[in-house]
Amino acid sequence: MMNVREDDVLEAAARWSREGRGVALATVVETWGSAPRPVGSHLVIDDRGDFLGSVSGGCVEGAVVAEATEVIADGQPRLVSFGVADETAWRVGLSCGGRISVYVEKVG
């Protein structure tokens, strides 16, 4: 995982939006148990597939990037959750027994 300040992620979101890119911002809004990133962590994604920051790790990040692509396309924010009782959690790498909720919204 890259060591990036949260301010850098938010600045990139604003800059990419000013440049005319489609941009989505993902924010960790809830964690429970073992979670690699704290509440308030950000990941910014653009319509080119570029991203900066981190909301989790491993495959969860890939799933959040996929959701962000849809948010950029349709403009509808989403709350996505991965957790211990969710079969998806095992597939995306949360087998350590945690839960994470991430809010994904379009910027600009």
Whether residue 1 lies inside any domain: the answer is no
pTM over 0.75: yes
Task: Dig out the tokens for 22 from the structure.
Answer: 């489609």
Pairing of strands 98-107, 78-82: antiparallel
**53-101 pLDDT, tens per residue?**
999 877 788 999 999 999 999 999 999 998 755 555 555 555 556 789 9
- 5 exposure class (CB count in 10 Å sphere: 0-12, 13-18, 19+): exposed
Q: Do the domain assignments include residue 32?
A: yes
Cβ atoms of 30 and 63 within 8 Å: the answer is no
pLDDT of 12:
96
Structural domains counted in the chain: 1
Q: Which domain holds residue 35?
A: 6-107
Q: Is residue 52 part of a domain?
A: yes
Whether the per-residue pLDDT at 32 is higher than 90: the answer is no
How far is Cα 49 from Cα 34, in angstroms, rounded to an integer?
A: 28
CA atoms within 13 A on the CB side of 30: 9
Distance CA 90, CA 35 (A): 14
